[in-house]
């Protein structure tokens, strides 16, 4: 397996810096709007996902027909200015500006997914996506810690300034990446590009990948609004215990990313491991619902986090190997939007069902949903394996 390129590590560095700043800013924005009630926090958290869904078609076409270096330089500069504007904003302005940050995140995610295959050899894609997942997991951990300290010790403005600075810091990083990706998409007789949703739905493999990912994310997010009630009301954790449980989850994602990246081999392929970890995640999530105490909960959460990290690592190369290179921006933007939709739908379902059904039953059901996804899309996922793209 070839060593990953300098340009890839620069892109990875940019993503890590960006996630640290974004996570710190998220904490600041939550504290900025929470005094207006739970609806404002919900609107804030849903805003980025809504922006990704609504702009995915435009974002995908933007990424596939332009220089990614130029796109990311301009996007970073604009996001930095938005962060500065957030410092002086009221509630309505915060929610609107947060939508712009969501559009920026959509551009960055689609660009990263499209650019990575240009920067690494095919046989190194698994390692590249694994290292990207490691970096993002650790960046998320660091961002929460830094954001909490900045907001607690220096106020909301400090965290927003950090995010603005992180965006401006990305500009020289993108400039020194030597290998650009400049799109040359196919157009029809009217000069129009094919839309991302049409591309994904007409491709048997990509369609099954997208369905699997969306249902998987939906199942995980059903658990999200219920976790605090299971941990505190049912199992009796106090605020400190709840914080520790969340650290276990975040830490397991980072540990899982490191371990799986170290162990994975090209001969494994990507489809079978993705299916295996999807099934295991469902089983472990169901076990979370059966947790008799906090120690069992922590162990089940850790196992779930490890396999979820694996799913994220294996699904990236699978998307790349089943896509036409010139369409990668649209494919990534579309699948990202479907994932965001799954996240929003899962959160809503979890919140609603948690009001009418036993918390444990809903969590167990979410786990079974994730595991049973394999019945409906397993064949399509296996068909997505491109043997010629594997290192024998």
Q: How far is Cα of residue 359 from the mean position of the Cα atoms in its chain?
A: 26
Q: Are residues 157 and 291 in the same domain?
A: no
Q: Are residues 166 and 274 in the same domain?
A: no
In a domain, 154, yes or no: yes
Q: Are residues 301 and 389 in the same domain?
A: yes
pLDDT of the residue at 38: 61
Q: Are residues 164 and 213 in the same domain?
A: no
At 261, list the tokens. Answer: 């990246």
pLDDT of the residue at 2: 57
CB 174 within 8 A of CB 48: no
Q: Are residues 298 and 364 in the same domain?
A: yes
Q: Are residues 306 and 234 in the same domain?
A: yes
In a domain, 183, yes or no: no
Q: Say how far apart CA 307 and CA 284 lie, in whole Å.
A: 9
CA dihedral of residues 300, 306, 309, 311 (deg, nearest 10): -80
pLDDT of the residue at 128: 86
Q: Are residues 162 and 233 in the same domain?
A: no
Sign, Cα dihedral of 73, 23, 29, 47 = positive
Report the CATH number that the domain containing residue 378 is assigned in CATH: 1.20.1250.20
Q: How far is CA 45 from CA 34, 39, 95, 146, 308, in A?
A: 11, 10, 9, 19, 21
Overall number of domains in the chain: 2
pLDDT per 10-residue tile (average), the chain, 392 residues: 81 92 85 76 78 89 91 94 92 89 90 90 82 85 82 87 93 93 77 86 90 90 85 84 80 86 81 89 94 94 91 87 88 90 86 86 93 82 62 39
pLDDT of the residue at 391: 37
Q: Is 322 helix (H, G, I), strand (E, B) or coil?
A: coil
- Which range marks the domain in which residue 33 is found? 1-177
Of 122, 147, 177, the last residue of a domain is 177
Q: Are residues 167 and 207 in the same domain?
A: no
Q: Are residues 173 and 306 in the same domain?
A: no
């Amino acid at each position: 397996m070839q060593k990953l390129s300098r340009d890839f590590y620069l892109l990875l560095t940019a993503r890590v810096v960006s996630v640290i700043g974004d996570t710190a800013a998220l904490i600041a924005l939550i504290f900025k709007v929470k005094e207006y009630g739970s609806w404002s926090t919900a609107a804030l958290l849903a805003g980025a996902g809504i922006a990704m869904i609504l702009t995915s078609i435009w974002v995908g076409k933007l990424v596939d027909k332009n220089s990614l270096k130029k796109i990311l330089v301009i996007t970073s500069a604009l996001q930095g200015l938005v962060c500065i504007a957030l410092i002086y904003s009221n509630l309505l302005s915060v929610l609107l500006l947060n939508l712009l940050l969501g559009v920026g995140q959509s551009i960055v995610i689609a660009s990263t997914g499209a650019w990575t295959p240009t920067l690494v050899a095919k046989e190194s894609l698994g390692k590249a996506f694994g290292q990207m997942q490691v970096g993002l997991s650790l960046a998320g951990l660091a961002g929460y810690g830094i954001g909490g300290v900045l907001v607690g010790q220096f106020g909301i403005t400090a965290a927003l300034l950090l995010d603005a600075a992180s965006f401006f810091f990305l500009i020289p990083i993108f400039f020194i990446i030597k290998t650009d990706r400049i799109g040359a998409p196919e157009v029809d007789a009217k000069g129009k590009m094919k839309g991302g949703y049409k591309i994904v739905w007409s491709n048997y493999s990509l369609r099954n990948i997208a369905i699997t990912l969306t249902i998987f994310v939906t199942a995980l997010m059903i658990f999200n609004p219920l976790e605090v009630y299971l941990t505190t009301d049912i199992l009796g954790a106090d605020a400190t215990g709840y914080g520790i449980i969340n650290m276990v989850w975040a830490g397991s994602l980072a540990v899982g990313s490191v371990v799986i990246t170290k162990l994975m081999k090209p001969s494994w392929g990507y489809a079978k491991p993705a299916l295996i970890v999807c099934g295991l995640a469902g089983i472990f999530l169901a076990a979370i619902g059966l947790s008799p105490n906090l120690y069992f909960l922590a162990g089940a959460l850790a196992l779930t986090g490890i396999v979820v990290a694996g799913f994220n690592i294996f699904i990236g190369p699978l998307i790349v190997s089943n896509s036409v290179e010139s369409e990668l921006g649209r494919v990534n933007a579309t699948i990202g939007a479907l994932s965001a939709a799954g996240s929003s739908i899962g959160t809503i379902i979890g919140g609603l069902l948690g009001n009418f059904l036993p918390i444990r039953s809903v969590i167990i059901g979410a786990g079974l949903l994730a595991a049973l996804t394999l019945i409906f899309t397993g064949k399509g996922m296996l068909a997505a394996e491109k043997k010629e793209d594997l290192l024998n």
